Amino acid sequence: MDFELFTNILFATLRTGTPLILIALGEMVCEKSGVLNLGQEGMVLMGAALGFIAAVVTGHAGLGIIAAILAGMMMSVLFAFLAVTLVSNQVATGLALTIFGTGLSGFLGAGYVGMAIDGIAPFPIPLLSDIPFIGKVLFSHDPLVYLSWVMFALIFWCFRSTRLGLTIRAVGENPEAANAIGIPVMKVRYGAILFGGAMAGLAGAYLSLVYTPMWSEGMSAGRGWIALALVVFASWKAERILLGAYLFGAASIMHLVLQGLGFEASPNLLAMLPYGATIIVLVIIASDAAKAKLSTPLALGKPYRPQV
């Protein structure tokens, strides 16, 4: 394997990991507040479809991104209304959201299949991108990759040392107690769900405007589900989500590279590699049950009814 191929593999790894990071970080914030939203896949698809449509209609990829974020948020408002305000079962509601989003995005995007757009151009960071190797791997990406790093840093910092992070954790651990000390539980949960929706929409935009600038039905290919698993295996820790997402990205790329190099194995078997590798590594990291429990949101998935 020559050096240039290696550089390209790392470059592609970061690109492949980015949508997972966006979805998983959003879902992590949502779950930290005690809400399990299984609708990620549906929200990603809606973001991808509406983002692409907006970009085609307006001819502006930036507007496509905004439309995608809004689409994700619209979907999550629907979820929040059902699961928080009406206290419905979170699992069932989330599953319904995924099915709904998958169908609706296919319906809305039907007329746009096969169209091509320019997508969002890479934005090599001046000076930094001129560094050999590192410049190519880290600083020659499109803006959304950089944005995913910013979001990671913000969320990491938020849960580590801000009152907002503390508040979200408190609501996710014990909503009754949080209410008793005057934290507006419903508002916090709405906020967390909306944030999750926005991130999922953004991930959708990444898929249909950057990663492969086109729309096809079901193009998220299960990334919403992978991200959900990633959050759990990463023990609700942002840094582990980053690690897991890039691991997954690396393994995905490796399976293509291995096939390209004529590696003798069933392609179907190789396609399993990313899923298997990511889960195994994260399970090993999270094997200390005692510590894992401390970061688990105790009230995850439990509906909260305010007293009257």
Partner 1 sequence: MNQIELNNITKRYPGCVANQSVDLKVAVGEIHALLGENGAGKSTLMKIIYGVVKPDEGAMRWQGQTVSVKGPAHARDLGIGMVFQHFSLFETLTVAENIALSLPKAESASMDLLKQRIIDVSEHYGMKLDPNRYVHTLSIGEQQRVEIVRCLLQDVKLLILDEPTSVLTPQEVETLFKTLHLLSDEGCSILFISHKLDEVRALCDHATILKSGQVSGHCVPSETTTEELARLMVGDDTPLTEDYKKAEGDEAFLSIVDLSHQSDDPFACTLKNVSFEVKAGEILGIAGVAGNGQEELLNLISGEDTSAKETVFFAKKAVGNLTPEKRRILGLGFVPEERLGRGAVPDMSLQDNGLLTGYQGELTKNGIINTGKVKAFAQNILERFNVKAAGIHAQAKSLSGGNLQKYIIGREILQDPKLLVCSHPTWGVDIGAAILIRHELIKLRDEGCAVLVVSEDIDELYSISDRICAICDGELSPVAPTHDVSINQLGMWMAGDFHALNNENEGAVK
Residue 305 interacts with partner 1 (CB under 8 A)? no
Closest contact distance (angstroms) between CB of 29 and partner 1 is: 17
For partner 1, the closer CB: 268 or 307? 307
Residue 232 interacts with partner 1 (CB under 8 A)? no
Q: Using CB under 8 A, which residues numbered 136 to 175 contact partner 1? A: 163, 166-167, 169-170, 173-174
For partner 1, the closer CB: 113 or 177? 177
Please select the residue that binds partner 1; options are 181, 260, 261, 264, rule is CB under 8 A.
181
Residue 262 interacts with partner 1 (CB under 8 A)? no
For partner 1, the closer CB: 31 or 41? 31
CA angle 218, 219, 224 (to 5 degrees): 80
Closest contact distance (angstroms) between CB of 92 and partner 1 is: 18
Residue 240 interacts with partner 1 (CB under 8 A)? no
Amino acid identity, residue 225?
W
For partner 1, the closer CB: 127 or 290? 290
Taking alpha carbons only, the member of 151, 107, 93, 147 closest to residue 303 is 93
Closest contact distance (angstroms) between CB of 297 and partner 1 is: 9
Sign of the alpha-carbon dihedral angle for 246, 247, 252, 254: positive
Closest contact distance (angstroms) between CB of 230 and partner 1 is: 21
Please select the residue that binds partner 1; options are 132, 150, 290, 305, rule is CB under 8 A.
290
Quick check: 196 and 26 in contact, CB under 8 A?
yes
For partner 1, the closer CB: 274 or 297? 297
For partner 1, the closer CB: 284 or 289? 289
Residue 189 interacts with partner 1 (CB under 8 A)? no
Please select the residue that binds partner 1; options are 183, 186, 229, 281, rule is CB under 8 A.
183
For partner 1, the closer CB: 181 or 261? 181
Residues contacting residue 52 through CB under 8 Å, at least 6 positions apart = 64, 109, 112, 117, 208, 209, 214, 215
CA angle 75, 79, 80 (to 5 degrees): 115
Closest contact distance (angstroms) between CB of 253 and partner 1 is: 37
Please select the residue that binds partner 1; options are 176, 259, 265, 272, rule is CB under 8 A.
176
CA distance 242 to 244: 6
Please select the residue that binds partner 1; options are 5, 121, 177, 271, rule is CB under 8 A.
177
Closest contact distance (angstroms) between CB of 180 and partner 1 is: 4
Closest contact distance (angstroms) between CB of 176 and partner 1 is: 7
> Which residue ranges make up the site for partner 1 (CB under 8 A)?
163, 166-167, 169-170, 173-174, 176-184, 289-291, 293-295, 298, 307-308
